[in-house]
Amino acid sequence: MKRNLNPIISAIAVSCLLSFTGCTKDFDKINTNPVTNSSEKFNPNFVLSSAQLNYTGSFDMAYDAFRSNFSLAGPIVQALANCTQEWRGDKYLIFEEHTAAYWGTGAVGSYIEQVRNIVDVVENTRGKEQYKNLHQIARIWRVVVLSRITDLYGDVPASEAGLGYYQKLYLPKYDKQQDIYNTMLSELDEAVNALQASGDIVTGDIIYKGDIEKWKRFTNSFMLRLAMRLVKVDEAKAKTYAQKAIANTFTSNADNAFVKHDVNGARITQNRNSQVLLGDVGSQDYYYGKWSNTFIDYLKKTNDPRLGKIAVTKLHISLSNKDQNPNFVTDPLVQKGMPNGKQVDAANGDAFDIRKDPSFTDYPDYSSPNPNMSKRDGITFILTYAQTELLRAEAAKRWAIGGTAGEHYNKGVGAAISCLSQYDSKLTISDAEINDYLTKMPYNDANGLKMINEQYWAHTNTLFDFYESWNNWKRSGFPVLVPVKHPDNSTGGVIPRRYPYPITEASNNPDHYKAASAAVTGGDSYIGRVWWDK
C-alpha cells in the first residue's frame, strides 16, 4: 500500500515548526504550550501525522536518528561499525549529547516532538464522537512512543508526560517501568477493542490511511512485542498478553507499518535514515558508516540471500565529496564488514588502528548499506510481519501456543527476506531463493531461541531499527556478542545496556530525577539495567 505525505506536508511543517518554536527547554515548557496544536486551532488529525512522522526521527536534521539510533544503538549491537570518534557506541564512549538525544531538549527529541503531540491528540479527542477512532489510534500511538523511551532509559515520565497544559503537571513524575508496561498493555487491549470500522475515518494517519482492520492487526502485533519483553520478569503476564495478541496479528508483508517519506517538504518530510547515510549531518556518516563484520559474517556463514542486496562495496570512492559511485558492487562474495572498536589513527596503538587490521585494504572495500534502502523519498519501517512471526515462533517455543515454532520461524524468515522489496524493487529476492535458504537452514528446535532471535536481530538491522535490535538482544541474549575492548571505553569493556538519564534533568526535574536515578539497577550509567532486562 502506498502511503504518501503529499496531502499533509504543509500541515506537518506547520505543526513541527510550532513544536520547535513553542517552547525553549525543559519539561515545564514541553508540557505548557501544546495549545498551539490543539483541535480548536488545528485539526487533530494533522497532529497525529506529525507524531507519526517524528517517530522516524527528529525533523531537525535527523537529530536523534543520527546521535541515538545510528551512532549509539547500531554499533553497540554490532549491526554497524564506524572508525571515527563521532559514532560513540562503536567504542562504548559516553557523550551526553548522544545518550540524551532521544530523550531530547525543549526543541528536539522524543518528548517535545512525539509525546507532546500525541498527548495533544489523545486529550483533544477525548469524549468527542466525531473523533472516536482517532482517539483510539492516538492512544495506541502513545504506547508506541512511550515504549521506546522506557526501553532505552527505564523509569521515565509517562502517565504525567505532556499534561502540563491540561492538568498543570509541569514536573512529571518518573513512572516505574513495571507500571508503564502494565499500563501500556492494558491500553492496547482497551483501544483495539474500541476501534470501529463504522466510525470516523482517520484522515491524518500516514501509515494505514485510517484502515481500521490494519490498525487492529498492528495493535495486536505491537502487544505481542511488549508481552515478549516480559518473559524474564513476569512470564505469566507475558504469556497472557501473547495469547490475547496472536488471535489477530499481521498476516503478510502487506500489513507492514511504515512511513513513506516525501522530498517536497525538505528535511521535515524526507527520510531521516537517508539524511544520516547521505552525509547531511557530517562527512564521517556517509564515508565511514559501515556494516559491522559481526553482521556481515553472520550473513556469509549461512549464505543468506540478503547479503547481495543490503550490502555494497565501493559506494564512496573519495573522501573529498559525498558523491556515491553509481557502479557500487553488490557481489556477496566481496562484501566485508568493518570490525567494531577501531579508529582512523594509531593514537592507541596498532591494535586499534583500522589501517593495521588484517581485514583492511581500503575504506571503500568495507560494506556500506545499499543506497536503495535509504532514498530520501523512501520508507522507514515501524513494525513488520516478519518481526511478529518470529515473536510468535518464540511464543510457540516457550508455551506451545498459536501453532508450531518451526511454522512461524519459516514465515518470519521468509517475510524478513522478501520485505526488502518494499524499499525498492531492485532488492527483490525470489521465492525460490527464499525456499532454498530455508531448506538449507532448517529450524532446529533444540537451538530454537537462538535461531529465532538471531534472525530477529538480522531483520531489525536491515530495517535500520537499531533500537529494536539492541532491545531484543538485551531481552534474549542473542546473538552472543563479543564486547569491544577499546581503551577509551566508558563501561569497563561491558556492552552498554541502557542510556543514562540526561544530566539536565538534575536541574529541570530534580526530585523525580534523583529518585529515578538512584533506583536504576546497576546505577544510572551505560551498564545499568532497565526493569525487564534480567
**Contacts by 481-487, CB closer than 8 A, 24 or more apart:** 481/77, 481/78, 481/294, 482/294, 484/90, 484/91, 484/92, 484/340, 484/341, 485/341, 486/90, 486/91, 486/92, 486/93, 486/341, 486/343, 486/348, 486/352, 487/348, 487/352
Confidence at residue 36, expressed as pLDDT on a 0 to 100 scale: 47
Share of the chain above pLDDT 90, in %: 86
Confidence at residue 168, expressed as pLDDT on a 0 to 100 scale: 80
Q: What is the DSSP string of 402-446?
A: SS-HHHHHHHHHHHHHHGGGGT-GGG---HHHHHHHHHHS---GG
Confidence at residue 64, expressed as pLDDT on a 0 to 100 scale: 96
- Partnered with residue 313 across adjacent β-strands are 329
Low-confidence ranges of the chain (pLDDT < 70): 1-42, 283
C-alpha cell read off for 94: 559516553
Confidence at residue 285, expressed as pLDDT on a 0 to 100 scale: 73
Neighbours of 175 (CB within 10 A): 22
pTM reported for the whole predicted model = 0.94
C-alpha cell read off for 343: 579508529
Confidence at residue 15, expressed as pLDDT on a 0 to 100 scale: 47
Cβ-proximal residues to 239 (8 Å cutoff; 6+ apart), any chain = 227, 395, 398, 399, 401
Pairing type for strands 290-291 and 257-260 reads unpaired
Please check whether residue 453 is in contact with residue 395, taking contact to mean a CB–CB distance below 8 angstroms. Answer: no
Hunting for cell 523512501 — which residue is that?
A: 378
Confidence at residue 5, expressed as pLDDT on a 0 to 100 scale: 62
Confidence at residue 45, expressed as pLDDT on a 0 to 100 scale: 96
Q: Three-state DSSP class for 169?
A: coil
